[in-house]
Structure 1
């Protein structure tokens, strides 16, 4: 137990360093509020748009390299049903940041937006913008749950306590300083991750309980080889997963929060490209640890038999490997790195959802001071919801994929249309696309969360448990179908609107023409009567015959 208390003490010191950095950064944020031309809420959300370029690079990388990324990579490589070939995170995240730098920085920065929801509300109005905020909020909460899914098994601490401590620290300093606290603590956290994870690699590789992991890459030593295989029939699903993570990331407010916090477009692009290089570098240690874990005879370790995979703990293979394959003092450093990865993304996701809620939902009905209160309350509530979800399952990869799935299917079509096809879309198309994506994704189902797979798709395989094994790239298909629906319904709505206006114009024109014709006919008749009566007057000029023209157009004859 003494060793465990020593480990807990080291993690406590790490948390104190992070918390101290967050408090210092919160003071810097208050100083920035006094000199920034923007509002206080903008300083909290985008750091006054003058964040240091190096801090920006660190916070962008740390946001992407979270608990889901680190633990998920190791889980996939260790899982005998998947392997390295399915560990697409490093490549997909690099792809995501490159695409963001190339195509999405200019449209979001051109009008000084603060959140991703701003262009939606500007184009579609507040109501539709609020509806589209729902999947963005769901994605952030699932992301929080994913990155809080860290079990500090090395320290012999319960899962609930481990998640609660990490989340509490992240919530506290995010409440205090907004983006400044998040960004500057990310610098410390990323440094811990970079040093700590790479420090563990030599000790993992030289563990006496692990076989040669290069041999285990292609040979079934203690389980299926960790390289894995990609069958031709699985190619569509593999590409679908890459696009899911590679394109789905452009829908996270956390990404735009960082590119909006820099002073210039060039700095924003540099932030993305540097992050695209650093993400794979930080992902390599977890891939190696997952490969060594797949090459280990666990019966010879202090973990014993059955193996973590057989006990359903593949999602926690990285901390398990650190505990049983590394010296204790090294495992302490490794667990510190995992704690850093948890908070580095947890704070970003919390601030992301809170910023959109405060600015885009309450902006028009609340004062500046109230918006800041809403942001802080939202940070707390989203953190609590993420904690609750994180305690429901042991699979980090599950939350990681489901979070990106929600945004890829529902939000990426909306983001692409609002930035690159704004002239051809409107609120009717946006709402129709949202409903279609939600309906199709629900019908396709998701066995991981108990959602039944109702809709049959091409290439489906029925498994023994009755579930459909999807081989068709349905997420990308839903995304493309949603884009098509948004464009089609938008153009149809505009055509109907023009048609109705044209018909209404014709009715008005017909009314005015009929009125003009009646006035002309009345004038002509009056002229004819005048000519006729003038002849009568001339003929009966000696008689006292009078003609009286009344106001209603009637001629009366007689002597008056």
Structure 2
């Protein structure tokens, strides 16, 4: 049951969608070459960079994942937000890895590796980045469709149609306007998203009361709702994975890096990171608070286990009044469109700039380069649509995002640190790190679905596999690099 009114709330959503797509299409006239298309001509200032980065990393999938963490773990579920905000500020403040990366004026991360480790490592890095990125993004459309069908009251048989419409709208202005369209629409989406979320949270606090929400947490979750170290509800191994993931993602996640690489200069890039740090915490706290309110409203019986991901959409559908629910849907569409457009252009840029480099060798004209980047975005959209239809998500959504992200975050973070600060680092260590960082998480994703190995892999759990991946990747970089160093000495 939902309060969504197709005449009032539907009009709000349609006006927003039409306005966003129009602005995105209008921005295409500023795209003159591949640099404009992929990094917005390196002309982004601090405020636009902050708004764009904050909007990009807050889609419907992230919103649902973080609300699920709040529903299941209380405020302890915001631990990834705390670690990411701290990592973002430290990297922005010190310029760790970001400064030398921006100083090189590269378009993608593997482009930097070409200088230190050679073209083969650059190509392999591009493959791993695209593999991990597409698997990570693969569930976004389904989560967006699930959210909209529940909150808007669509019949679930229309889920695929809703997913397709969302994708087409995003792909249209991204294909034509590239990163310039992404930045402009991100700014609009950041404003709409901030207004919508703030209004919803205020309504929840007024309607249910802060003390009543805390009383529910005390009763249902106990002290572990506030302390992730307490007991095994959240777990120390999960906290370690959050820390590794936080620093790796702010340094090497392509959609995050693209903001730094699009900045006017290195100082601007560092300020964008520092300024965005608080928003990376807010993107966990607000959804977690809504998840806690859903726990207060439904209790623990209706949504448990894998069904917990749907508690927040059903909760918003039931309590938001006409008008506000339309604003909320527009805000979530804003978040999702921002995320999808940025991710699509991020992976297409890596494919064009690093994987296809042996084909075009940087000699293609800007017209041909723009054409191929647009074709790649379209192909990525088709993959995401197909993958979103058939992949059966099981368990925590945030766990899936962590595991798939680790496929490339583990090795790319080690390669970046080594490329910037370790003179002995070489291509042997880089290849060993890439293989290790890819094999361990992929093994977990595959073997936990195999009947004969499911019990063993589930008993170990994704967090220990994740932590082991980061440690093993660093060890293999050290071992491989030293092996080559001493053999050639």
User: What TM-score bracket applies, with the shorter chain setting the length?
Assistant: 0.7 to 0.9
Q: CA RMSD in A?
A: 3.0
Residue 313, structure 1, aligned to residue 310, structure 2? no
Residues in 1 aligned to 2:135 and 2:186: alpha-carbon distance in whole angstroms = 21
- Worse-superposed segment, 466-475 or 123-132: 466-475
Report the alpha carbon displacement of residue 237 of structure 1 after superposing the two structures with TM: 2.7
- Specify the alignment match of 2:109 in structure 1: 116
Distance 1:245 1:385 in 2: 27
One of 150, 153, 157 as aligned partner of 1:156: 153
Task: Give the drift of 1:166.
Answer: 1.8
Query: Does the 8 A contact of 2:430 with 2:477 survive in 1?
Result: yes
Q: Would the alpha carbon gap of residues 318 and 263 (structure 1) be closer, same or farther in structure 2, given more than 3 Å must change?
A: same
Please state if 1:403 is matched with 2:404.
Answer: yes
State the alpha-carbon separation in 1 of the partners of residues 202 and 463 from structure 2.
40
What is the deviation of 1:224?
11
Whether the 8 Å contact between 1:354 and 1:374 is mirrored in structure 2 is no
Size of the alignment, in residue pairs?
A: 469
As a proportion of its length, which structure holds more helix?
A: 2
Confirm whether residue 388 of structure 1 aligns to residue 399 of structure 2.
no
**1:263 alignment counterpart:** 264
Q: Secondary structure at the match of 1:271?
A: helix
Q: Deviations over 1:275-334 (max 9, x none)?
A: 102222344321211111111147xxxxxx962337x43223332221112213222211
Write the distance in 1 (CA, Å) between the matches of 2:181 and 2:477.
39
Q: Which residue of 2 aligns with 1:433?
A: 433
Aligned twin of 1:352? 346
Partner SS, residue 214 of structure 2: coil
Instruction: Give a deviation string over 1:115-141, Cα, whole Å, max 9, x none.
Output: 111011222332221112122102221
Note the residue ranges of structure 1 that are not aligned, 5 or more in a row. Answer: 34-39, 299-304, 455-461, 499-560
Cα offsets for 1:105-159 (capped at 9, x unmatched): 2111222111111011222332221112122102221333344321202222332
Q: Report the secondary structure of 2:220's partner residue.
A: coil
Distance in 2 separating the partners of 1:51 and 1:472: 37
Q: Residue 370 in 1 paired to residue 368 in 2?
A: yes
Q: Is the 8 A contact 2:64 2:287 kept in 1?
A: yes
Q: 1:390-425, CA deviations, whole angstroms, 9 ceiling, x for partnerless residues?
A: 33346642442233222233322222222222x212
> How far apart are residue 448 of structure 1 and its match?
9.7
1:335, distance to aligned residue in structure 2 (A): 1.6
- Equivalent residues in 2 for 1:72-471, closer than 5 Å: 72-79=65-72, 82-101=73-92, 102=94, 103-148=96-141, 149-150=143-144, 151=146, 152=148, 153-157=150-154, 158-207=158-207, 212-220=212-220, 227=226, 230-232=229-231, 234-297=235-298, 307-309=302-304, 312-366=306-360, 367-368=364-365, 369-391=367-389, 392-393=391-392, 396-421=397-422, 423-443=423-443, 445-446=444-445, 450=449, 467-470=458-461
Q: Is the 8 A contact 1:114 1:257 kept in 2?
A: yes
CA distance, structure 2, for counterparts of residue 106 and residue 175 of structure 1 = 30
Pair 297,430 (structure 1): closer, same or farther in 2 beyond 3 Å: closer
1:385 deviates by 1.9
Matched residues in 1 for 2:462 and 2:258: separation?
35
Per mean C-alpha deviation after superposition, the further-off stretch among 40-49 and 136-145 is 136-145
Deviations 1:531-559 (A, max 9, x none): xxxxxxxxxxxxxxxxxxxxxxxxxxxxx
* SS of residue matched to 2:297: coil
Distance 1:472 1:373, change over 3 A: closer
**What SS does the corresponding residue of 2:97 show, helix, strand or coil?**
helix
SS in 1 for 2:359: coil
- 157-166 or 351-360: which moved more? 157-166
1:15 paired to 2:17: yes
CA distance in 1 between partners of 2:151 and 2:208 (Å): 19
Question: Is 2:178–2:345's contact at 8 Å kept on the other side of the alignment?
Answer: yes
- Using the size of structure 1 for normalisation, the TM-score is 0.76
Query: Quick one: distance in 2 between partners of 1:111 and 1:408?
Result: 21
3-state secondary structure, aligned to 1:328? coil
Question: Compared with structure 1, are the counterparts of its residues 64 and 96 closer, same or farther at alpha carbon in structure 2 (3 Å cutoff)?
Answer: farther
Change in CA separation of 1:78 and 1:224 when aligned onto 2, cut-off 3 Å: farther
Judged with a 3 Å threshold, the aligned counterparts in structure 2 of structure 1 residues 72 and 448 are, in CA distance, closer, same or farther, namely: farther
SS at match of 1:87: helix
Moved more, 223-232 or 135-144: 223-232
Q: 1:325-376 deviations in whole A, cap 9, x for unaligned?
A: 2213222211211111111111111111111111122345321333222211
1:208 Cα offset (Å): 6.7
The verdict on how the C-alpha distance between 1:436 and 1:447 changes in structure 2, with shifts beyond 3 A counting, is closer
Alignment CA distance shift 1:163-1:207 (3 Å): farther
Could you tell me how far apart the structure 1 residues matched to 2:246 and 2:450 are?
21
Deviation at 1:251, TM superposition (A): 2.0
Question: How much does 1:268 deviate?
Answer: 0.9
* SS of residue matched to 2:218: coil
Structure 1 position 100, deviation (Å): 3.5
Q: Secondary structure at the match of 2:404?
A: helix
Whole-angstrom distance in 2 between the partners of 1:200 and 1:67: 15
Partner in structure 2 of residue 479 of structure 1: 470
Change (3 A) 1:54 1:471: closer
Corresponding position of 2:40:
47
The structural deviation recorded for 1:214 is 1.4
Question: 178-187 or 239-248: which moved more?
Answer: 239-248
1:380 and 1:93 map into 2 onto residues whose CA distance is: 31
Stretch moving more, 229-238 or 244-253: 229-238
Higher RCO, 1 vs 2 (CA within 8 Å, ≥6 residues apart)? 2
Specify every segment of 5 or more residues in structure 2 that has no aligned partner in the other structure, as ranges: none
For residues 427-466 of structure 1, the C-alpha deviation after alignment (integer angstroms, 9 at most, x for no partner) is: 22211222233344455x2489626896xxxxxxx97x98
Equivalent residues of 2:433, 2:474 under 8 A apart: yes
